Structure 1
Amino acid sequence: MAMRAASLPQAPSSKPPPRAAEAYGHAHRTMSVAGTADTQPQVVEDFRIHVITWNVGSAMPPDDITSLLGLNVGDGNTDMYIIGLQEVNSMINKRLKDVLFTDQWSEVFMDRLGPFGYVLVTSQRMQGVLLLVFAKYYHLPFLRGVQTETTRTGLGGIWGNKGGVSARMTVFGHSVCFLNCHLPAHMENSEQRMDDFESILQQQQFECQVAMGVLDHDVVFWFGDLNFRIDDLDMHVVKGAIDANKLAVLWEKDQLNMAKDSETVLEGFHEGPLKFPPTYKFDVGTNTYDTSGKKRKPAWTDRILWRLRATAPPVVGNSKRHSLSGLSSGLSSGTRVTQHFYRSHMEYTCSDHKPVASIFTLQFPYKVDIPLITLIVEDEWREVADAVVRFKVTPNFGRSSWDWIGLYKVGFKHHKDYVGYTWAKQEESDYLRKEHEVTFPEEELPKGSGDFILGYYSNNTSTIVGMTEPFQISLPTSSPGGVSPSDSSDFSSEDDGTVGGGSRPSSPDGATRRRSSSSSPSPSRGSASPSVKPKRKGRHGNKPKKAPDVPAPPSNVKSPAEDPVAGEPAAGEAGEAGSS
């Protein structure tokens, strides 16, 4: 039986996937850099990022977010989704015996993106400000150093209704930071908005030697309800310009555009042309601007900007910056950012804001193209004895006895959405081995037929550091002794982390070994949408949720009672979940 190694993704097909499940069979990218930069020529690769910002106004999610995500017109080559929401209401559910902190917006995005091969990498929440980062599953081993931060600016820094949440990571060796902000409202507070933005930049510091601050990263995406308004022009002039599609009349009076010419902190930030009407304020349920007694003047409050680290010549500010189309900027190191579109979505009417989206391509040589862990499995598991996983460890990578290997259905949503798992046990003699081997116990294996993926979760990095390609499992639907297949655990109230929620990871059984530094609520665990890998006939439907027994840790691992970092979280670590 053939063996399958998960070292490098395969080349993509030129055709877009006709069905969600086929995303796994097509959109892999070729890793052109086979060695180090010193020995091999670097080949520039494209990495596509879809950024969305939306002040949802405490509304429930709409029934269909397909067009917002571009899934109805996309070519399947989007590598990462970055979703920044503001004014999200939280919902606290109790599932099984665990109290979960979750929100319906996170769930609806996971439900929609999961079947297309996107996995939640990390999330961060500060009251109503929510940041979600999704990526194709096969990119997970190359997204490293994931950290999140929050900064409150409401009520002088006490309240989190305003402020910023961020996530940073390296993407194939290049540092990238995503910053979602909700800045102060009202026409007269333009200077306060700039002051708050500067405070956010100053306060957000990461545990990273290369890029400690937001602006130290190779690429920064800044987006959110930035709340900048249109100065001087009265309501009739603004509405008249919108109706006549003469938006250029409004650009010159936009507070953010004017600030770009004078505010040092905005140097180097780029924004595409505002070719869409102002996105605020609308009567809910309509495309009609505010008719209430307040009659708020329309404004481009919802924005997406980007910045490259200052190694290239600075961008000179001028009032005609919006004449640029298909904006592109680059670093001297070879990193380049190109914006493909910048638009609003008028079809969504559940909020008084319209969502804004933009697609970017990052072009850079892959500095990192070898996973820290290479997993090797057979093409198909037909019997329990086949459930053997071999893995190789990159030299100098520090493993932990708390590492584990998760078994995921194709279409899984986040790193805890596993069907089964096994500890990646480590003995003293393992340090001399080039290859290691573990076996999945029968009770952790799904019965029936379907396509699955294995992922190696590192306790030290709090991320998945190795993945396989999809492979098939075809096991009998019943097992001797009536042993039922296990399913992944629901999140407990202690779980705040996602695939890369911070520097303090959690265990696979849902009992948190260490508290994640992310203050965002963990998404509730849900079974992945059914999907079938192309050219295979196996089906893998949803099973009833079942909380697995807490596994016994490896023999050389201390129990939580013995390990001071593995016990209960300290008081006050429950996170920022709550209504805005």
Structure 2
Amino acid sequence: MSLFPTSAVYPTLLGPLVHIITWNVGSATPPDDITSLLGLNVGDGNTDMYIIGLQEVNSMINKRLKDVLFTDQWSEVCMERLSPFGYVLVTSQRMQGLLLMVFAKYFHLPFLRGVQTETTRTGLGGYWGNKGGVSARMSVFGHTICFLNCHLPAHMENSEQRMEDFECILQQQQFEGQAATGVLDHDVVFWFGDLNFRIDDLDMQVVKSAIDNNKFPMLWEKDQLNMAKDSETVLEGFQEGPLKFAPTYKFDVGTNTYDTSGKKRKPAWTDRILWHLRATAPAGAALSAGKRGSISGLTSGTKVTQHCYRSHMEYTVSDHKPVSSIFTLQFPYKVDIPLVVLIVEDEWNSTADAIAKFKLAPNYSRSSWDWIGLYKVGFKHQKDYVGYVWAKQEEADFHRQEHQVTFTEEELPKGSGDFILGYYSNNMSTIVGVTEPFQIQLPTSGLDISSSDSSDFSSEDDSTIVLMKMRSRSPSPCKNKHRKNHSDSHTHPRSQSRSRSGSPAQATVAGLNVTGSCCCHRSHSQLLCLLFDTSNTLCVLSNSNVQFLVPSFSATAIWLVREAHSALSCFIKMCTWYIFICFTLCCVSSIFLRSQVWTVQGAVTLH
């Protein structure tokens, strides 16, 4: 299956295929296999975007701090499963137990622009994020789309509170830019999550009997959300496909049996996926409820087609069942040309410098902090690169407005494989240009341990230790020129390591001249060949000769600065969470103490 479209010209009407998933995971760890949930076992790879909204992701203090320091389990599982199929994490947003992830095929990245995220807390009067909404908005081929993942208040009697919280979320979530500042200003809005709406006026036995006999329309008529569409103005324009699957809440964990606990919660369709179009179709073109799960459209010709709307009963790690839906967005493409076109003309190999060319669109505003990343096919997110260089303004062809950059040998992967280049825009915080996959070859004459080499390495009486300096993998505009001049006189490490018996080996380590000779008895000449290879250190032991490639101190310094910055950011986040928790506890304690004082004062007054 090809991961890149066969044609660089995109169609004019057929838009992306979007797969949306919502699941209240109930603080559970991810299941071993989510293949069927993602539809990867039956799909043909045509899905363009995956939108995954989770609720009640474990947000205990120890888990939350771990997720701040590392990628959370759910994100990691989704990336691990989707990345081999060419899907890249575009953006994600976390607010306590709410998690929203947006994935897309990597060749769509240049056409997903203006990515922004927002969060709104509605728990404890807006101070706590156990309830609320997280959203991600972007321009998809020139059309604005917003994905909103919500967790609304629970319990049968809180239907009005759910509507108030939803209205609060819509009012508070505002985005930068002129295209769409509010949620409902977007061309298309997808609203999903644990909306917590229940089934009214029917007792437990009637509901279960209807479920057993597949009489879902009878239950749908009493669904709180369905009834609210006729009376709540905030729901005007929101559409939903027919509920042809059993209620997804509440189950005994580990089973497909509805709640048997003492609470005996009535089954309900709490987990929903709806959509909203900015402009409704003209009167007479509206679809009936029975057909509402198929097509809806804008006056401009944009259409949303729902292909399926289903639950996944095979997953039992939570008391909720996941719900998914697949949509096709059909619209005329307003944007079908990337802002940056990357060109890889010559064959690349891992033992020589490589050149990449790129062209900038006239309307593209570049930054001196733009960079070009080298990604292995199957990368997980936009920072999951193998190496990168700064996108400097070096003219390659003045008339064709081409620029070029050079990936030095040290910035290339040591092995062969399929790779792509991506141009990352610092101003837009996204990739704005990609190449098709290309191969980096590993020449057969590269570094290996063979019998012929062993004869070159062997010495009569003593072995030689050679220390050599590796150039920094971090691209730096001020160092590239020096590197280029230095590369002419720089020979391959193997050729420098071949010194005669008894001759001292000389090398430069971080600017220091090192000369050394190590005596070794001839009986040690039959040492077993060992190879130890990491990203920065290579150690080769062949017979009685030892060669070390020591990482440069500049690369180490840059790594330390980055790690220190990351640790400082995590520490600040941790302190913020602790301060917020302490503040919340103080507020709750203050309210409790005041209530006790009022109770005592009232008792004294009555006495």
Note if contact 1:445-1:486 (Cα within 8 Å) is conserved in structure 2: no
Unaligned segments of structure 2, at least 5 residues: 449-465, 476-532, 538-550, 556-560, 582-607
**Mapped pair 1:267 → 2:236:** yes
Aligned counterpart, 2:345: 378
- Counting aligned pairs with the same residue, the percent is 74
In structure 1, distance between residues paired with 2:330 and 2:170: 26
Aligned counterpart, 1:163: 132
The worse-fitting range, judged by mean Cα deviation, of 422-431 and 373-382 is: 422-431
**Mapped pair 1:451 → 2:429:** no
Distance 1:458 1:389, change over 3 A: same
Aligned 1:228-377 pairs, distance under 5 A: 228-313=197-282, 321=289, 323-324=290-291, 326-377=293-344
In structure 2, distance between residues paired with 1:259 and 1:59: 32
Note if contact 2:277-2:298 (Cα within 8 Å) is conserved in structure 1: yes
Note if contact 2:342-2:434 (Cα within 8 Å) is conserved in structure 1: yes
In structure 1, distance between residues paired with 2:570 and 2:210: 55
Secondary structure (helix, strand or coil) at the match of 1:300 reads: coil
Aligned length: 480
In structure 2, distance between residues paired with 1:567 and 1:59: 28
Q: CA deviation at 1:546?
A: 6.7
Q: CA deviation at 1:169?
A: 0.3
**Mapped pair 1:225 → 2:194:** yes
Alignment counterpart, residue 390 of structure 2, candidates 399, 406, 423: 423
In structure 2, distance between residues paired with 1:377 and 1:145: 27
Distance 1:475 1:428, change over 3 A: closer
Query: Alpha-carbon deviations, 1:64-96, whole Å to 9, x = none?
Result: 00000000000211000000000001546879x
Q: CA deviation at 1:45?
A: 2.0
Q: CA deviation at 1:406?
A: 0.7
Note if contact 1:181-1:225 (Cα within 8 Å) is conserved in structure 2: yes
Query: Alpha-carbon deviations, 1:35-78, whole Å to 9, x = none?
Result: xxxxxxxx312310000000000000000000000000002110
Alignment counterpart, residue 175 of structure 1, candidates 144, 158, 165: 144
Distance 1:230 1:577, change over 3 A: farther
Unaligned segments of structure 1, at least 5 residues: 1-16, 18-22, 34-42, 490-542, 553-558
Alignment counterpart, residue 75 of structure 1, candidates 29, 32, 44: 44
Aligned 1:360-509 pairs, distance under 5 A: 360-378=327-345, 380-382=347-349, 384-385=351-352, 387-426=354-393, 434-476=401-443, 478=447
Counterpart AA for 1:203:
Q
Distance 1:454 1:356, change over 3 A: same
Counterpart AA for 2:391:
A
In structure 2, distance between residues paired with 1:74 and 1:310: 32
Q: Which protein shows a greater Rg? A: 2
Higher helix share: 2
In structure 1, distance between residues paired with 2:283 and 2:311: 28
Aligned counterpart, 1:535: none
Alignment counterpart, residue 191 of structure 1, candidates 160, 169, 182: 160
Q: CA deviation at 1:310?
A: 1.9
Distance 1:94 1:389, change over 3 A: farther
Q: CA deviation at 1:371?
A: 0.7
In structure 1, distance between residues paired with 2:574 and 2:342: 35
In structure 2, distance between residues paired with 1:485 and 1:350: 49
Distance 1:243 1:576, change over 3 A: farther
Query: Alpha-carbon deviations, 1:282-317, whole Å to 9, x = none?
Result: 000000000001100000000000011125337999
Note if contact 2:252-2:319 (Cα within 8 Å) is conserved in structure 1: yes
Q: CA deviation at 1:375?
A: 0.5
In structure 2, distance between residues paired with 1:236 and 1:317: 36
Aligned 1:149-160 pairs, distance under 5 A: 149-160=118-129
Counterpart AA for 1:283:
D
The worse-fitting range, judged by mean Cα deviation, of 308-317 and 44-53 is: 308-317
Distance 1:29 1:108, change over 3 A: farther
Secondary structure (helix, strand or coil) at the match of 1:306 reads: strand
Aligned 1:516-555 pairs, distance under 5 A: none
Note if contact 1:487-1:545 (Cα within 8 Å) is conserved in structure 2: no
**Mapped pair 1:202 → 2:181:** no
Q: CA deviation at 1:363?
A: 0.6
Distance 1:180 1:402, change over 3 A: same
Counterpart AA for 2:406:
T
Q: CA deviation at 1:385?
A: 4.0
In structure 2, distance between residues paired with 1:446 and 1:143: 28
Query: Alpha-carbon deviations, 1:261-289, whole Å to 9, x = none?
Result: 11111111110010000000000000000
In structure 2, distance between residues paired with 1:385 and 1:184: 60
**Mapped pair 1:122 → 2:91:** yes
Distance 1:115 1:353, change over 3 A: same
Counterpart AA for 1:31:
V
Q: CA deviation at 1:344?
A: 0.1
Distance 1:428 1:86, change over 3 A: same
Counterpart AA for 1:165:
V
Query: Alpha-carbon deviations, 1:439-491, whole Å to 9, x = none?
Result: 012221111210001101110100001100100001345499878899999xx
Query: Alpha-carbon deviations, 1:322-372, whole Å to 9, x = none?
Result: x22642111122211000000000000000000000000001111111111
Aligned counterpart, 1:520: none
Alignment counterpart, residue 30 of structure 2, candidates 36, 61, 69: 61
Note if contact 1:387-1:440 (Cα within 8 Å) is conserved in structure 2: yes
Task: Give the structure, 1 or 2, with the largest relative contact order (CA under 8 Å, sep 6 or more).
Answer: 1
Note if contact 1:86-1:129 (Cα within 8 Å) is conserved in structure 2: yes
Query: Alpha-carbon deviations, 1:238-260, whole Å to 9, x = none?
Result: 00000111111101110000000
Aligned counterpart, 1:539: none
Distance 1:370 1:261, change over 3 A: same
Q: CA deviation at 1:416?
A: 1.1
